[in-house]
């Protein structure tokens, strides 16, 4: 019985998590069109506390403040771009989940690719160096070592019944 109850609670929690939103009823605008605009914009704004969540999904008090500030700007007549510009002027490009590509964000956008290329180059260089280095390290056999190796191979062939 406990397992069934646990499974039901766990399933309900997992299924309701993605469906639940942090926007509270007291934050919502009475005009459905304005509320839809606010929700669309807030999905592209980062919660500064949670960092990988939008302010639309975050329960953090700062995210609530940002949602209220955004709705306030829209009610005052700001366009979507003006409202986002107001928030980025105040909090920087970090408030955007998808920051613009500009010199200040080049490392963010292109850094992973540079690291991938550099890492691949190092692996190739070490791989080639290792195979060339292995051949270069072993000195050639002396005449005495060659004779000894030939004798060992002959003894092995005779032991296996080979002529």
Predicted pLDDT at 91: 87
Backbone angles phi, psi at 45, to 5 degrees: -105, 135
Nearest to 54 by CA among 96, 83, 89: 96
d(CA 45, CA 87): 9
Take residue 35 and report the two structure tokens written for it: 């509320």
CATH topology (fold) of 2-100: Helicase, Ruva Protein; domain 3 (1.10.8)
Dihedral of CA atoms 138, 141, 144, 145 in degrees, nearest 10, equals: 60
DSSP structure class, residue 78: -
Q: Output phi, psi for 46, to 5 deg.
A: -85, 140
Of 154, 163, 48, 36, the residue nearest 94 (C-alpha):
48
pLDDT digit string (tens) for the chain, length 163 residues: 666 455 555 555 544 444 445 677 777 777 888 889 989 999 999 988 887 888 988 888 898 899 999 999 999 999 999 999 999 999 888 888 888 888 888 887 898 999 999 999 999 988 877 655 555 567 888 999 999 999 999 887 776 655 5
What per-residue confidence (pLDDT) applies to 7? 57
pLDDT confidence of residue 134: 52
CA dist 83 and 45 (Å) reads 11
Q: What token pair was written down for 124?
A: 């190739």
The ranges assigned to domains in the chain are 2-100, 105-159
CA distance 101 to 94: 12
Query: For position 9, what pLDDT does the model report?
Result: 54
CA atoms within 13 A on the CB side of 118: 6
Q: Give residue for tokens 């986002």.
A: 84
């Amino acid at each position: 019985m406990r397992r069934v109850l646990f499974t039901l609670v766990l399933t309900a929690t997992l299924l309701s998590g993605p469906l639940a939103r942090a926007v509270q009823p007291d934050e919502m605008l009475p005009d459905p069109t304005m509320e839809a605009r606010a929700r669309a914009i807030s999905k592209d704004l980062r919660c500064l506390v949670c960092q990988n969540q939008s302010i639309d999904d975050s329960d953090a008090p700062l995210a609530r403040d940002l949602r209220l500030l955004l709705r306030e700007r829209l009610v005052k007549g700001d366009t979507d771009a003006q409202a986002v510009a107001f928030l980025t002027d105040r909090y920087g490009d970090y408030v955007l989940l998808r920051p613009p590509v500009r010199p200040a964000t080049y490392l963010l956008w292109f850094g992973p690719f540079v690291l991938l290329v550099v890492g691949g180059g190092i692996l190739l260089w070490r791989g080639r160096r290792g195979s060339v280095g292995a051949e270069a390290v072993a000195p050639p056999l002396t005449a005495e070592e060659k004779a000894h190796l030939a004798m060992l191979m002959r003894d092995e062939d005779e032991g296996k019944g080979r002529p």
